[in-house]
Amino acid sequence: MNYKLQIADLKAVRDYFDENASEASQQIVTLIQSLEESEVEVNLDTLKEEIMKLVEPEIQQEVAEQVADAISKIEAKKEQKPTMDKKQIRNEFASTIMTARNRDEALKLAKDFVVKNGITFTSGDFTNPIVDYNIVNKWEDNNELWNALNFTPVSKWFYTTQEWDDTYAKASLWTKGSTNEKDIQALTLNPIEISTAYVYKRQRYAQEDLDDIQEQGNLGQFIDWTTTELRQHVIDMILAAILGEKSLSNFQSITTGQTTFTTVIAKTETVADSFDYVTIENARELADSVIGRGQRWLVMNKHDLTRLAAHKHATGGTTEYWTKAEVAEQLGVDNIYTTDIATEGRIVCFIPSEYWVKVKNTLDLAYPQYEINAQNLQYEINCGGKIHGLLSTAILKKAE
Q: Which of 33, 51, 80 is the last residue of a domain?
A: 80
Query: What distance in Å separates the CA atoms of residue 287 and residue 336, rounded to the nearest whole number?
Result: 11
Question: Do 108 and 195 lie in a common domain?
Answer: no
Question: Do 164 and 21 lie in a common domain?
Answer: no
Question: Do 34 and 123 lie in a common domain?
Answer: no
CB 386 within 8 A of CB 194: yes
Question: Do 33 and 109 lie in a common domain?
Answer: no
217 is a domain residue: no
| Per-residue confidence (pLDDT) for residue 356, from 0 to 100 | 95
Query: What distance in Å separates the CA atoms of residue 7 and residue 1, rounded to the nearest whole number?
Result: 18
Question: Do 126 and 190 lie in a common domain?
Answer: no
| Per-residue confidence (pLDDT) for residue 319, from 0 to 100 | 87
Question: Do 129 and 162 lie in a common domain?
Answer: no
Q: Which of 63, 80, 97 is the last residue of a domain?
A: 80
| Per-residue confidence (pLDDT) for residue 395, from 0 to 100 | 96
142 is a domain residue: no
DSSP string, 276-320: TT--HHHHHHHHHT--SSS--EEEE-HHHHHHHHEE-SSTTPPPE
Question: Do 120 and 235 lie in a common domain?
Answer: no
- SS3 of residue 158 by DSSP: strand
61 is a domain residue: yes
- SS3 of residue 217 by DSSP: coil
Question: Do 266 and 395 lie in a common domain?
Answer: yes
216 is a domain residue: no
Strand-pair partners of 90? none
User: Which backbone phi and psi does 158 adopt, to 5 degrees?
Assistant: -125, 150
Say if pTM beats, i.e. exceeds, 0.95. no
21 is a domain residue: yes
Question: Do 265 and 369 lie in a common domain?
Answer: yes
286 is a domain residue: yes
Domain range spanning residue 33? 2-80
379 is a domain residue: yes
Alpha helices (H) along the chain? 11-19, 25-38, 44-53, 60-80, 86-98, 103-117, 134-137, 144-148, 207-215, 219-242, 280-288, 302-309, 324-331
Q: How many domains does the chain fold into?
A: 3
Question: Do 278 and 311 lie in a common domain?
Answer: yes
Query: What distance in Å separates the CA atoms of residue 383 and residue 359, rounded to the nearest whole number?
Result: 4
Question: Do 68 and 161 lie in a common domain?
Answer: no
Residues of the chain with pLDDT under 70: 1-60, 62-63, 66-67, 69-111, 113-142
Q: Which of 54, 80, 106 is the last residue of a domain?
A: 80
Question: Do 256 and 347 lie in a common domain?
Answer: yes
| Per-residue confidence (pLDDT) for residue 89, from 0 to 100 | 61
